[in-house]
Structure 1
Amino acid sequence: MTGRWYTPAQIVAAAGGDLPSSIGSLNKLIAARGWRSDAARTRHVAKRGGGFEYHESLLPEGVRARLALAETADVVEASDESWIAFERLPAKKKEEAERRLAAIQRYDVLIRSGATASTASLTVCRDYGCAARTLTRWREMVAGLARSAQLAALAPQHTGTPSRRSACHQKAYEAFKSDYLRPEQPTFSACYRRMKAVAGREGWAPIPSERALRRHLDNDVSPAVQTLAREGRDQAKALFPAQTRARQHFHAMQAVTMDGHRFDVFVRTSDGTILRPHLIALQDLHSGKLIAWRLATSENKDVVRLVIGDMITVHGIPEMIYLDNGRAFASKDISGGTANRFRFTAKPDDPDGLLTTLGVTIHWTTPYSGQSKPIERAFRDLTDTISRHPFCAGAYTGNRPDAKPENYGSKAIEIEAFRSHVASQIAEHNGRAGRKAVACRGRSFDETFRDSLAKPDTIVRWASESQRSLWLMAATRIKARSGNGEIHFMGNRYWHPALTGHAGKRVTVRYDPDDLKAGVKVYDQANRLIADAECILATGFDDTDAARKHNRNRAGYLKALKTQKLMHTVMTADELAALYEDRTVRAAEEDETLRLPSIPRIVPRGGAAALRLEEIEDTPETGWDDEAETAFSRGLRLVTGGRQP
């Protein structure tokens, strides 16, 4: 019968008022109830002293519970160290521990079924091929341990005789490791031969065999260190598990990433040049959708600016953007004014870049690290769907110089046809259903992007009409000319009346590189618009029409200035003189009469009569103004025949 068996002493210890508390009283109860006549639930103890054991089914429920609690009170669980040691054992030793545990469990089953200890021991030893003393030793190893701890305790602990390590001269071993752990990746045998030749010359001994030395190296230098020394940092970095970065907490247009990819396809431009074009693209991080892209002959800041403008025009302004530190993306036109920008020389008067002006937070990713930019995964897909598409057969170059196809260089695709091909494949890439990303859940990138934008808690900023010039024009900071504030830029001159107030100061000029004659937008140091300055085109020296037009414009400018002057000078000079005149002095002068002495005329000698003295009176001064001076100059030219006096 299965179950547990207990002696009278064990039953009395757990009686607890449900049974007699002494062995004598318990034996009277046993005799009264006839337990010993129940052969199925009573058995003799097969050990010195004899006695009886009684099956647990004869005992009250409370006694059974206390007996079970007493059995588990002193049970010891296995420690973490013992299980760690067990897990490090080879499979053969683990199988031996399982065999020992099975033997012990078989012995316990036989004892509980009523077999004597000797019978159970003989049966187990016969079935498991062990001696009786060995079985006893196994049972002693798990005595007092919980059932869950017995397997680790039964594992063989002998480690065998350690193998003796072949001796090697210290300098020889150091020379060998220094030679082998080089980025040139010499073979093991070549390094061993060189070391052995030097050891013979230098008298280094002992030198182990090549196979023994290989065991020394693998034991002393881990594979990761060997990879770092021989294959480089990138290969060693790949040994560390990649970080899984969740993106589903973003909403659409909250965060984007941008990068460039050069297609392995020959394309012919409009001027006949054959080259491999660049794809500059922006990807929404939440959905994975490519939201803006352009083809270009090179990866430059102008294309980057236009792609960002395409995104803002169609989808809005993101809160943050992830860029690498490439020259095109970290240029001053794109990220100028960013505090953590580490590319080019940062100057205090540098203009704010496009993203900085729009309030987009810039995060810089690790260069040459595809794990930092999910868009690299999209580029890998596009390489297969675009570059290796049948449309590009003969124009595909291969992704390495040693991976050129047989039809390499047999065709070049026209740029417009290739642009249409790229557009169709990107549309297919965005619309492909069954995406496994967490945010997609089987939907396409387009559906994921559209559903996120439709949520009421998704807020996207949009650019105003005045902000559109920020990405349609590049920016540079120059100094306006002294005097009239004229701007000289890229061989052209630009001017507006409002620039006069900024003469000699530094201003920011935004312009369209493709149309410099269209004028420029001029901003002050606080990035406030000053004016739209027009281009002053050069004219021929003998172009009278242009001269007349210039004179009319200048006369209009002077007239406008004179009008503004009259608006500010509302008082005439006479009114100012009367206002500022000292009235106390004037009153004193009016009280005093000024008398001038008479001057007698001297009569010359020999005169016939004496001349009467006359009083010489003062004559008032004649007024002289601008009109009088103009009339006098005109009369003087008439007298002199038109010649300048």
Structure 2
Amino acid sequence: MKEFFTVAELAAANLPDLPRAEKSLDNFARARWRGDDQLARKAPGKTKPVWEYHYSLLPPSAQTRLVIVHDTPANDRDDASAVRKAALWARYEGLSHEHKAICEWRLNTIVEVESLERVGVTSSAAIAIATKKAGCSKSAYYEWREMLLGTNREDWLAALAPSFRTEGARADCDERAWDYLKSDYLRPEAPAFSECYRRMAATAAKHGWAPIAAERTLRRRLNATVSKAVQTLARKGRETAKKLYPAQRRLRQHLHAMQMVNMDGHKLDVFVKVPWSEKPVRMFLLGIQDLYSGKIVGWRLSDSENKETVRLVIGDMVENFGVPDAMFLDNGRAFASKWISGGVANRFRFKVRDEDPQGLLVTLGVELHWTTPYSGQSKPIERAWRDLAEKIAKHPFCAGAYVGNKPDAKPENYGSRAIPLDGFRAHVSAQIAAHNAQLGRTGGDCKGRSFDQTFADSMGLDSTIVRWPTAAQKSLWLLASEVIRAKKGSGEIHFQGNRYWSRELNQFAGQKVTIRFDPDNLHQVVKVYDLSNVLICDADCIEDAGFNDQEAARHHARKRRDYAKAVTAERDAHAALSASQLSDLYYKGDVAEPAPKPEPIRPRVTRLATAAAVALKPAAAISEDEVEDTFSKALARISGGASIIEFPQGNTPTGTASGANEPKRAAYGSRKKKGGENPAR
């Protein structure tokens, strides 16, 4: 746009705040604008010279109108004006406080000139008065008016901003050397800028790169042209650069207790003496936190993050406080196990198969959400771990067993002591209870209350609805042992040095069964299942007693008597009828008569029983005297005239039975007594 206009051109533009007639406008300009040779000049005309006036002499409204008429086309005017306006104010906002004060000083001088002109002072006189009062030259005033060309009145303050450029931006440096310096400095090794500059200078001298700016100049240029985010990403990594972006703040006031929970594990910085290892170990603390109140609702100690301990921690929470609607977990191996989260489509660890069993959380109907790994902002329990690490590991109870939170932060008494596991578990329990009961909490919806109070108040509201597990569901998180054979006789179970028994185990004496148990509470009731995974009973732990413990003996005898009475009562309940009642019912209505003698049953064909058909007993062995006596008797029988051999009677052969010869012996004896000697002799 041109800067000088004739009276005819100004009158044709029909400018506001100026006379519309050309003659009146010429008189106005002759009286007000011709006193300044730099803003009013003569230019050649068609017939004679004519006066031209600088647009800065016009009122602001007339200047704006003139810019609209002689500047950009109408279609692009609004867009160009908006872009220029934004650029002016962006530059102004980047100025320091001192430079913004300079803008205000310039604007006050220009406004002073306009005020004097409105009260009738000529333009040249007004400029002289205002510049003298402000302590600047007339030429500076004209430069400022030049800066306001085509600018709306409301943007004058931003348009009067001084144009400053840093020394680094104005520095003349070979682009090849500049690229070498930036590439060397923006590396993950994070070298020092001075060393990078020295390498760049040596390389530039070798290759003839020139000119080379000073080190401080290029350092300022680097900070001005390369943002801090880019430098952090290149030199410190993505995780550090991510912290430059503000974290998301998640409100929890709309929740209620046990609606949502989050779970994570933390490795404690304490040496613990455990039975299964000769060397001390560092234990993991696995815990679950209620998102609404911040209360730790379940925890366990373990030597590693494993699915078994995760199951037990979830079981502790469900038994004590109920089943949550949703749970937030990270994608660790223990939490993403199919026994915990099997059946969740977005598990994203291990292979998801249709035949996988439903995990514990899916079975309980808990909605599962996975958090970003290594992101403490995704799990509020990470904040609790920081407090508990201070309370547990640095407590005087753990003096000498504290190992430090990183390898180069070991205390002087490192490794001088290891805490027994039972004592350490009691210490952790006390500190978690103190953590939940601490007053003055301001996070979430606590409002100065403790986590316990906030949790209890929410649970007491009528609007808080929490699902509660059934007795059958409680066995879902217990651990299953290997198959165990019940002892013969009573059917009691021996496991881990303990004995478990219930009356129902009598039926499974000597058979194999499976038990589900809590490894941290082996003295509690265990659940016994058969090989088909059908529940048999809940078996109590049988305590051992001292050999001379009379009270324990009486207690055991009383239990045995109660057991015998119960079995007797059960027997009587099943065998409701006595033997006499059974007999009466059996013979009821029948006459008691002797049973008839059964008729003999004979075959159609019979035969006589002979000696050959009789099984003879083997003869007993006899002495020589008996043989001679028997032989002499046989000779006497033959020689004495008794030559008739009697027919055998019954099944006894002749000469074998002593009864057959008894008559002859009797007769022989009588004859011997009467007649003396035997006649045959």
Q: Which moved more, 1:142-151 or 1:306-315?
A: 142-151
Aligned equivalents of 1:83, 1:149: Cα separation in 2 = 8
User: In the alignment, is the contact (CA less than 8 A) between 1:386 and 1:425 conserved in 2?
Assistant: yes
Secondary structure of the equivalent of 1:253? coil
Give 1:332's aligned residue: 338
Greater CA drift, 256-265 or 101-110: 101-110
Cα displacement string for residues 104-136 of structure 1 (whole angstroms, at most 9, x for unaligned residues): 455567778998877765553333212356446
Corresponding residue for residue 309 of structure 1: 315
In the alignment, what sits opposite 1:246? 251
Structure 2 match to 1:208:
212
Give the Cα separation in 2 of the matches to 1:116 and 1:261: 83
Structure 2 CA distance for partners of 1:386 and 1:219, relative to 1, 3 Å: same
The aligned amino acid for 1:278 is: F
1:602 aligned partner: none
The partner residue of 1:276 within 258, 282, 293 is 282
CA distance in 1, matches of 2:31, 2:150: 22
Structural mapping, 1:492-507, within 5 Å: none
What's the counterpart of residue 293 of structure 1? 299
Find the aligned partners of 1:206 and 1:108 in 2 and give their Cα distance.
52
Report matched runs for 1:60-209 at 5 Å.
Answer: 79-106=85-112, 123-132=129-138, 134-135=140-141, 138=144, 148-157=154-163, 163-169=170-176, 173-174=179-180, 179-191=184-196, 203=207, 205-206=209-210, 208=212
SS in 2 for 1:276: strand
Per the TM alignment, residue 352 of structure 1 is displaced from its structure 2 partner at its CA by 1.0
C-alpha offsets along residues 470-504 of structure 1, whole Å, 9 cap, x if unaligned?
1113599xxxxxxxxxxxxxxxxxxxxxxxxxxxx
| Distance change in 2, residues 1:179/1:421 (3 Å) | same
What is the distance in 2 between the residues matched to 1:392 and 1:445? 25
Q: List alignment gaps of at least 5 residues for structure 1.
A: 1-13, 15-44, 51-69, 477-508, 524-528, 536-645
CA distance in 2, matches of 1:427, 1:149: 63
Say which of 401, 421, 442 aligns to 2:448.
Answer: 442
- Separation in 2 of the partners of 1:231 and 1:125? 54
Change in CA separation of 1:111 and 1:296 when aligned onto 2, cut-off 3 Å: same
Percent of aligned pairs with the same residue? 49
State how far apart, in whole Å, the 2-side matches of 1:467 and 1:308 are: 12
Q: Which residue of 1 aligns with 2:25?
A: none
- Aligned pair 1:264/2:269, yes or no? yes
In 2, distance between residues paired with 1:265 and 1:248? 36
Q: Is the 8 A contact 1:520 1:534 kept in 2?
A: no
Q: Distance in 1 between matches of 2:192 and 2:144?
A: 51
**What's the CA shift string for 1:421-470, capped at 9, x where partnerless?**
32222222222222222422332222222222222222111111100011
Say which SS state the counterpart of residue 355 (structure 2) adopts.
coil
SS at match of 2:262: strand
Number of residue-to-residue matches in the alignment: 445
Query: Per the alignment, in what secondary structure is the counterpart of residue 270 of structure 2?
Result: coil
Alpha-carbon distance in structure 2 between the residues aligned to 1:85 and 1:475: 74
Q: C-alpha separation between the residues in 2 aligned to 1:513 and 1:448? A: 30
- Which residue of structure 2 lines up, in the alignment, with residue 373 of structure 1? 379
**Structure 1 equivalent of residue 239 of structure 2:** 234
Match of 2:580 in 1: none
Which amino acid in structure 2 is aligned with residue 248 of structure 1?
Q
The answer on whether the counterparts of 1:256 and 1:318 sit within 8 Å (CA) in structure 2 is: yes
Q: 1:627: which partner in 2?
A: none
Q: Provide Cα deviations, 1:304-334, integer angstroms capped at 9, x if missing partner.
A: 1111111101111011111111111111221
Decide whether aligned partners of structure 1 residues 234 and 157 sit closer, same or farther in structure 2, where only a CA change above 3 A counts: closer
Moved more, 297-306 or 105-114: 105-114
Secondary structure (helix, strand or coil) at the match of 2:328 reads strand
- Residue aligning to 1:225: 230
Match of 2:388 in 1: 382
Q: Is the 8 A contact 2:172 2:211 kept in 1?
A: no
Alignment of 1:469 with 2:479, yes or no, is no
Evaluate the alpha carbon distance shift between residue 137 and residue 225 of structure 1 in structure 2; reply closer, same or farther with a 3 A threshold. closer
Q: Which amino acid aligns with 2:249?
A: T
Q: Which residue of 2 aligns with 1:576?
A: none
Q: Alpha-carbon deviations, 1:204-244, whole Å to 9, x = none?
A: 53473672665665566443333223322211222222222
> Which of 353, 362, 365 is 1:359 aligned to?
365
Give yes or no for the alignment of 1:399 onto 2:405: yes
Residue of structure 1 aligned with 2:260, choices 221, 243, 255: 255
Distance change >3 Å, CA 335–CA 204, structure 1 → 2: farther
2:31 counterpart of 1:48: yes
Post-superposition shift, 1:140?
A: 7.8
* Distance in 1 (alpha carbons) for counterparts of 2:213 and 2:142: 47
How do 1:404-423 residues align onto structure 2 when only pairs under 5 Å count?
A: 404-423=410-429
Contact 1:397-1:409 within 8 A present in 2 as well: yes
Tell me what 2:325 maps to.
Answer: 319
Distance 1:216 1:117 in 2: 45
| 2:424 partner amino acid | F
Mapped to 1, the partners of 2:392 and 2:440 lie a distance apart of 20
The alpha-carbon deviation at position 396 of structure 1 amounts to: 1.6
TM normalised by structure 1 equals 0.58
